């Protein structure tokens, strides 16, 4: 809001914020950011525009200060790439976390990778929301504002049950884990960029690849709509091939099986000849 006030002027009446002025402002945002030295992406342009649009909608529908809402056209944002870890990468990450000076980081990452909780949901978790008797985590403060329960996998249960100390207040010590996490990622020598939010993508991706249903994943992740969960529907080419094979007609599946066996025998024979 401070940015918008600075751009449009604190004394500017809302009725003077027209579509033309908004378009001019948007054009100015298509420039190099002084803080980074790089051209702003669609997300950096859209966030203040979305705030402005919401304010103008309130001014029209609730405050009755303007007669119509000027059009605010947002930029098309590229779909974020879903990144997950292979089993060996996950193990390297956890091994590096176990050696970290931040002693609770290993346990924290195990829960993050095995539950899909958002970073704030995990770091703000308190013991009175951890129900070990039922094996669930009850979340009160969520991004959507709706309460939800997340069932614990066995690894999550084991980590939380083994946490030493009095089970009151926060589960994890207060403090910034960003630098410690980045150090661990570097030490793990992963083959891809990986952020803490990637733990959530990792959980969701493997949930789907191991046969979990998208509707169930939506409830676990706390997505408002199934459309938000659909970005995980395409993960894992091998998973998709398995699903295609599983739904083949029996006769066709048997034919494919014979063709695959014949091809394998031919391949082995050719390798023998070459050697």
Which residues, in sequence order, are CB contacts of 229 under 8 Å at separation 6+? 204, 214, 217, 218, 221, 223
Catalytic-labelled residue, pool 30, 47, 71, 143: 143
118 catalytic? Reply is yes
Cα end-to-end span (Å), the chain: 71
Which residue has 């009095």 as its token pair? 166
**3-class secondary-structure state, position 250:** helix
Catalytic-labelled residue, pool 53, 157, 202, 232: 232
How far apart CA 76 and CA 35 sit, in angstroms, is: 23
Which residue has 């659909």 as its token pair? 230
134 catalytic? Reply is no
Catalytic-labelled residue, pool 80, 155, 197, 234: 197
How far apart CA 257 and CA 261 sit, in angstroms, is: 6
**3-class secondary-structure state, position 3:** helix
Catalytic-labelled residue, pool 26, 53, 92, 223: 223
Which residues, in sequence order, are CB contacts of 199 under 8 Å at separation 6+? 109, 112, 113, 116
211: its two tokens: 């046969």
Which residues, in sequence order, are CB contacts of 44 under 8 Å at separation 6+? 29, 33
**3-class secondary-structure state, position 130:** strand
202 catalytic? Reply is no
Element containing residue 137 per DSSP (H, E): strand 136-139
232 catalytic? Reply is yes
223 catalytic? Reply is yes
- Please, are residues 39 and 33 in contact by the beta-carbon 8 Å criterion? yes
Catalytic-labelled residue, pool 53, 200, 201, 202: 200
Element containing residue 148 per DSSP (H, E): strand 148-151
Catalytic-labelled residue, pool 106, 118, 201, 202: 118
143 catalytic? Reply is yes
Catalytic residues: 118, 143, 197, 200, 223, 232
């Amino acid at each position: 809001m401070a940015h918008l006030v600075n751009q449009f002027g604190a004394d500017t009446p809302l009725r003077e914020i027209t579509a033309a002025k908004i378009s001019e402002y948007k054009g100015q945002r298509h420039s190099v950011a002084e803080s980074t030295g790089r051209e702003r992406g669609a997300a950096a342009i859209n966030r203040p525009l979305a705030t402005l649009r919401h304010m103008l909608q309130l001014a029209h529908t609730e405050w009755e200060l303007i007669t119509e809402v000027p059009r605010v056209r947002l930029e098309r944002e590229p779909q974020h790439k879903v990144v997950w870890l292979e089993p060996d990468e996950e193990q390297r990450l956890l091994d590096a976390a176990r050696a970290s000076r931040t002693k609770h980081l290993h346990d924290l990452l195990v829960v993050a990778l095995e539950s899909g909780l958002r970073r704030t949901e995990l770091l703000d978790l308190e013991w009175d929301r951890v129900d070990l008797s039922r094996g669930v985590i009850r979340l009160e403060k969520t991004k959507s504002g709706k309460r939800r329960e997340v069932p614990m996998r066995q690894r999550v249960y084991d980590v939380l049950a083994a946490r030493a100390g009095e089970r009151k207040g926060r589960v994890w010590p207060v403090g910034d884990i960003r630098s410690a996490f980045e150090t661990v990622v570097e030490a793990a020598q992963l083959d891809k960029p990986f952020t803490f939010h990637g733990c959530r993508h990792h959980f969701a991706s493997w949930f789907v690849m191991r046969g979990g249903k998208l509707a169930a994943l939506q409830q676990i992740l706390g997505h408002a709509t199934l459309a938000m969960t659909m970005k995980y529907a395409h993960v894992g080419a091998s998973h998709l091939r398995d699903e295609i094979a599983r739904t083949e007609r029996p006769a066709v599946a048997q034919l494919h099986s014979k063709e695959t066996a014949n091809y394998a025998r031919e391949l082995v024979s050719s390798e023998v000849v070459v050697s």
